[in-house]
Chain A
């Protein structure tokens, strides 16, 4: 580290919350505000670690009452099977209502066309927006964090979307103190991001502290993989090698996933981290951001995320 290596950490004085306690308290406050001020909230739940932490916080915020909103999953049809199994088990365990928006349905009836590159991540926006308007959801919780990406870094905790689901980054409401303004007009909705101020490492430290179970692919396991565009993709039904070079690179490696999206565009990383503590040590020393390492969908341009968000993406 820098000049401060030998200095002691600034210890919490009595009656000072640690940074994880502070982040937890802030997130629970936001979740309760949204539930109190909106008619029909819902939570986007993919089985990814951020949405898992969101659901954990929601369960804590309303204990001993049940989580007072349904969960929505945009199923691209290219999901990892173990993540879908995890999703269904969590929904069962917490007694939730699950709304699935299926990209496959849109492809089957022609409302969407398969992309030339075969990835379905950009296709999620329309099913998502239809699920939001169909469910008449006026607030949608997401697990987005501002440390993920530079367009996300500019987003409010409560982020207004117009009747077309669009985000206008240049015209956002000021967000003052912890006074969240949930006013919106009919047809508009709000995306709520209670984990805005968390980092990837905070999420992992919280998963460790709270002993939260995750889908197994977040930890090191053997998997058949191949190289594409500098990423390690799993060999599977939605991500087979397309070229001879890709086919020649197929091998079994010990890998884990830092993010969980589609099999077709989410890369694995070489890792022997089999426990939460191993993952924390790995994340703390990595030199690559989690999306930069593993997400083809963010590599399209400098502003790929901003462009998708403006259209109504997560």
Chain B
């Protein structure tokens, strides 16, 4: 690893892999780690030893990431594996997600925090249902970049025509599904073409290698274009426990800025009470700040003594989101048991957990026909639209514009399981679905 030269100001890019089973994701990740010299000698020794024991010719790089017993036994990836590597230019966190349809929930998990999704397709097979599903997931979760690695390009004889055909197909599908930004690269994870180093075998491709592309992707959102959203996590009131006597009357609101920039003197509104006040100071253990921005963890002190609790949100006074108890949302259903209208659930939105009832299941997304199909249940791995009624009002904003304050998770009140990834609003509307559909279900 040459990370010692990584400058202190270098940024971090969060990646998630996606793609159908056997398209070679784990091999690609292994190749990225190996060719960027992020695999250490003892890890490689272990992989070579196991590969030899199985009678393989070379080292099976997939073994670098498939860590669980069951994964090694079945030769597939079951759960998200997180990998870390750095180049001289950037640090990366990579969520390696499994491709089997029953593990789609892991792709949703990986994509929810990703700055970019690396989607693999097999150059011989083209776009499969699972590929479309993963494109839809990346689009719904508003992952800023999708990089499609057209893998196994060596197995189609490095055909420029086949690559062009697939690239066009990918662009069409991405447009249908409303993917924000799409990039394509022809690669062979097995051989290493265009993964880290540009390949001589694809003279017709003059773009960057996959790693070069990832090193240059712009990261983060423009916080200056946003308004302050600050969900309160913890109220800090040390009182008699203060380690410094001057802090016995201290009262600060600790949290992570979800959106925007804040400065002392800013006028803010506290939700749900609607009370107005000013930011007195932005505190950290290292001293006060002249400004802070998303996603910094800070503590705000306010000019007025207002009753504020965990779950409240401090927002910019010039852009106060509406409070609502009725939420139209898109759910990626991750539970084993189906969702039905009338079901009672818990919703965790920013730092607040509220009870909710499912008023209506409107329908689910049919990925092949790319439109919403009417229905009254959501099954495991379905993506669909629902109406929720919440027990108390929350400042829920459109997910398409607010990746933090528009997101929520659905929790089973009985056993605590996480049942769904929720996105406020007609997130499906961001996708343009062609074809006929009943007017009632127009999105």
Residues on A facing B (Cβ under 8 Å): 1-5, 7-13, 15-26, 28-29, 32-33, 35-36, 59-66, 95, 146-147, 149-151, 153-154, 169-170, 172-179, 181, 183-185, 196-197, 199, 201-202, 205, 209, 280-281, 284-289, 292-293, 302-303, 306
Chain B residues contacting A12 (CB-CB under 8 Å) are: 9-11
Partner of B216, one of A10, A62, A202, A285: A10
Residue in chain A with minimal CB distance to B83? A153
Chain B residues contacting A196 (CB-CB under 8 Å) are: 82
Partner of A3, one of B4, B67, B196: B196
Query: With contacts A4-B87, A12-B10, A170-B78 known, is A285 near B233, CB below 8 A?
Result: no
Residue in chain B with minimal CB distance to A59? B285
Mark contacts of B37-67 with chain A using CB atoms, 8 A cut-off: 1 yes-contact digit, 0 otherwise.
1001111001000100000000000000101
Query: With contacts A1-B88, A19-B12 known, is A287 near B41, CB below 8 A?
Result: yes
Mark contacts of B259-299 with chain A using CB atoms, 8 A cut-off: 1 yes-contact digit, 0 otherwise.
00100000000000000000000011110000001011101
A113 to B36: give the CA distance in the assembly, Å. Answer: 46
Partner of A1, one of B37, B68, B238: B37
Mark contacts of B16-29 with chain A using CB atoms, 8 A cut-off: 1 yes-contact digit, 0 otherwise.
00000000000000
Chain A residues contacting B349 (CB-CB under 8 Å) are: 179
23 residue pairs A–B, Cβ–Cβ below 8 Å: A7-B215, A8-B89, A9-B6, A11-B11, A19-B10, A25-B296, A36-B234, A62-B234, A62-B236, A64-B242, A65-B247, A147-B83, A149-B67, A151-B68, A176-B108, A178-B256, A181-B416, A183-B346, A183-B411, A196-B82, A199-B3, A201-B1, A209-B8
Chain A residues contacting B404 (CB-CB under 8 Å) are: 177-178
Query: With contacts A25-B297, A179-B407 known, is A174 near B234, CB below 8 A?
Result: no
Q: Is the C-beta of B310 less than 8 angstroms from some C-beta in chain A?
A: yes
Q: Is the C-beta of B443 less than 8 angstroms from some C-beta in chain A?
A: no
A191 to B166: give the CA distance in the assembly, Å. Answer: 45
Apart from the given pairs A22-B12, A170-B78, A284-B1, 8 other A-B contacts in the complex at a CB distance below 8 Å: A15-B261, A16-B219, A19-B6, A19-B11, A146-B84, A176-B407, A179-B408, A303-B68
Chain B residues contacting A146 (CB-CB under 8 Å) are: 82-84
Residue in chain B with minimal CB distance to A35? B234
A153 to B83: give the CA distance in the assembly, Å. Answer: 7
B184 to chain A, nearest CB (A): 19
Name the residue in A28, A151, A303 with the highest tally of chain B Cβ atoms < 10 Å from its Cβ.
A28
A272 to B416: give the CA distance in the assembly, Å. Answer: 50
A280 to B350: give the CA distance in the assembly, Å. Answer: 37
Q: Is the C-beta of B359 less than 8 angstroms from some C-beta in chain A?
A: no
Are B351 and A306 neighbours in the complex by a CB distance under 8 Å?
no
A13 to B50: give the CA distance in the assembly, Å. Answer: 44
Query: With contacts A18-B8, A61-B254, A170-B79 known, is A33 near B233, CB below 8 A?
Result: yes
Partner of A66, one of B72, B243, B293: B243
A19 to B241: give the CA distance in the assembly, Å. Answer: 33
A285 to B37: give the CA distance in the assembly, Å. Answer: 10
Chain A residues contacting B81 (CB-CB under 8 Å) are: 150, 153-154
A26 to B93: give the CA distance in the assembly, Å. Answer: 13
B4 to chain A, nearest CB (A): 3
A173 to B409: give the CA distance in the assembly, Å. Answer: 11
Are B351 and A22 neighbours in the complex by a CB distance under 8 Å?
no
Interface SS of A by simple majority: loop
B430 to chain A, nearest CB (A): 17
A40 to B4: give the CA distance in the assembly, Å. Answer: 39
A93 to chain B, nearest CB (A): 10
Query: With contacts A151-B68, A306-B67 known, is A61 near B297, CB below 8 A?
Result: yes
Are A284 and B2 neighbours in the complex by a CB distance under 8 Å?
yes
Partner of A32, one of B106, B255, B293: B255
Are A181 and B409 neighbours in the complex by a CB distance under 8 Å?
yes
Q: Is the C-beta of B244 less than 8 angstroms from some C-beta in chain A?
A: yes
Name the residue in B70, B89, B108 with the highest tally of chain A Cβ atoms < 10 Å from its Cβ.
B89
Are A176 and B254 neighbours in the complex by a CB distance under 8 Å?
no
B25 to chain A, nearest CB (A): 15
B314 to chain A, nearest CB (A): 15
A64 to B247: give the CA distance in the assembly, Å. Answer: 7
A15 to B295: give the CA distance in the assembly, Å. Answer: 10
Are B223 and A15 neighbours in the complex by a CB distance under 8 Å?
yes
Q: Is the C-beta of B415 less than 8 angstroms from some C-beta in chain A?
A: yes
Are A281 and B4 neighbours in the complex by a CB distance under 8 Å?
yes
A5 to B40: give the CA distance in the assembly, Å. Answer: 20
Chain B residues contacting A293 (CB-CB under 8 Å) are: 42
Q: How many residues on chain B are close to A (CB under 8 Å)?
A: 103
Q: Is the C-beta of B204 less than 8 angstroms from some C-beta in chain A?
A: no
A15 to B224: give the CA distance in the assembly, Å. Answer: 8
Are B7 and A9 neighbours in the complex by a CB distance under 8 Å?
yes
A199 to B67: give the CA distance in the assembly, Å. Answer: 17
Are B82 and A4 neighbours in the complex by a CB distance under 8 Å?
no
Partner of A173, one of B43, B90, B285, B418: B418
Q: Is the C-beta of B364 less than 8 angstroms from some C-beta in chain A?
A: no
Chain A residues contacting B198 (CB-CB under 8 Å) are: 3
Q: Is the C-beta of B35 less than 8 angstroms from some C-beta in chain A?
A: yes
Chain B residues contacting A15 (CB-CB under 8 Å) are: 220, 222-224, 261, 293
B47 to chain A, nearest CB (A): 10
Chain B residues contacting A24 (CB-CB under 8 Å) are: 297
A158 to chain B, nearest CB (A): 10
Q: Is the C-beta of B370 less than 8 angstroms from some C-beta in chain A?
A: no
A149 to B82: give the CA distance in the assembly, Å. Answer: 11
B133 to chain A, nearest CB (A): 16
Q: Is the C-beta of B237 less than 8 angstroms from some C-beta in chain A?
A: yes
Q: Is the C-beta of B417 less than 8 angstroms from some C-beta in chain A?
A: yes
Are B93 and A306 neighbours in the complex by a CB distance under 8 Å?
no
Query: In chain B, residues 115-155, which have Cβ atoms closer than 8 Å to a Cβ of chain A?
Result: none
A221 to B83: give the CA distance in the assembly, Å. Answer: 33
Q: Is the C-beta of B348 less than 8 angstroms from some C-beta in chain A?
A: yes
Query: With contacts A10-B90, A173-B418 known, is A66 near B67, CB below 8 A?
Result: no
A202 to B6: give the CA distance in the assembly, Å. Answer: 11
Query: In chain B, residues 219-251, which have Cβ atoms closer than 8 Å to a Cβ of chain A?
Result: 219-220, 222-224, 233-234, 236-238, 241-244, 247, 250
B249 to chain A, nearest CB (A): 11
Q: Is the C-beta of B91 less than 8 angstroms from some C-beta in chain A?
A: yes
Residue in chain B with minimal CB distance to A281? B4
Chain A residues contacting B297 (CB-CB under 8 Å) are: 24-26, 28-29, 32, 61
Are A17 and B67 neighbours in the complex by a CB distance under 8 Å?
no
